[in-house]
Amino acid sequence: MEQLQIKTMMKILDVGAGTGRVTRELLQKNLKVTALERSPQMIAEMQRQKLTENTDFQLITGDYQQMTTQQKYDCLIFSDNLLQELFWESDLQTVFTKATQLLKKGGSIWVELLMPLTKTINYQRSKLANLQTEYMMEVQLITNEEKATLRYTNQLEKFVAGYATEKYRVTRELKILSETDIIEALPGNLKLERVLDVAKEIHFPDTTGNNFLWVDGGYPLPNSHPQISKKVLILKEK
């Protein structure tokens, strides 16, 4: 938390909160978190975890670009491949312009970038969404050397008595973004303050007993695959 400059009493917007992985960790640190999510399946998963019962939690359903609120946040979080997904729908300048409208003066933005170290990787992982294995999420990443894109497939399955009863699958071809792409797209009132190499600079606690666990050995450790790098860019409002 110190590395990411997130402190107690901050108001945080988790953009595209998904299953609530980041939101849940922040709530455990007594932070006030607003989760923005448009997927009915992901919203149902957060409700199943009873996140909505936490008085420090607010859920907003809808699209990031269409979000209208008078609330300003100390920190905006774009985790996993969310920034690439927003870029797939729009452009980076539009994404960051919207972010500055939601940010308090002096606030910060945390952008998580997953970057394959080779453009020929075919990478697939699965995780158990809870200890009862009622949900399983599978992520597949395939890079395209000619297009410099990342084909991202996200599949969520719900199991009852050992049988899959629901399946949610989305595939997108996302541009592989670099630090340079981010810097060039920043509006004049945002600056890059720091880049964290997740594998080298961030210590992860023991994930034993966590509700969310990668079956191949411990998400979110990025060095579980030698061909994938994960960085966090901290942007600051000037």
CA–CA separation, 97 vs 102, rounded Å? 9
Q: What is the pLDDT of residue 177?
A: 83
195: number of Cβ within 10 Å = 14
Token pair listed for 224? 């579980």
Q: What is the pLDDT of residue 133?
A: 47
Q: Are 198 and 230 in contact (CB under 8 A)?
A: yes
Mean pLDDT of 46-53: 85
What is the per-residue DSSP string for 48-86?
HTTGGGSTTEEEEES-STT---S--EEEEEE-TTHHHHH
For 159-173, the pLDDT digits (tens) are 666 666 667 677 777
97-106, 142-151, 218-227: least confidently modelled range: 218-227
Q: How confident is the model at residue 156 (pLDDT cuts 50, 70, 90)?
A: low
Q: What is the pLDDT of residue 64?
A: 95
Q: Which domains does the chain have, with CATH numbers?
A: 11-237 (3.40.50.150)
CA–CA separation, 114 vs 238, rounded Å? 26
Amino acid found at 209: G
Residues 6+ apart with CB under 8 A from 32: 9, 10, 11, 12, 56, 58
Is a pLDDT exceeding 80 seen at residue 195? yes
Q: How confident is the model at residue 143 (pLDDT cuts 50, 70, 90)?
A: low
Token pair listed for 188? 């004049």
20, 48, 53, 206 from 44: Cα distances, Å: 11, 6, 13, 27
CA–CA separation, 175 vs 157, rounded Å? 26
Q: What is the pLDDT of residue 212?
A: 40
Mean pLDDT of 107-127: 69
For 55-102, the pLDDT digits (tens) are 999 999 999 999 988 899 999 999 877 888 888 888 999 999 999 999
What pTM does this model have?
A: 0.77
DSSP strand E in the chain: where? 11-15, 32-37, 57-61, 73-78, 103-116, 122-128, 135-144, 149-160, 163-175, 190-197, 213-214, 228-237
Residues 6+ apart with CB under 8 A from 207: 213, 218, 219
**Backbone phi, psi, residue 105, to 5°:** -60, 130
For residue 226, whether the previous peptide bond is cis, meaning omega lies within 30 degrees of 0, is no
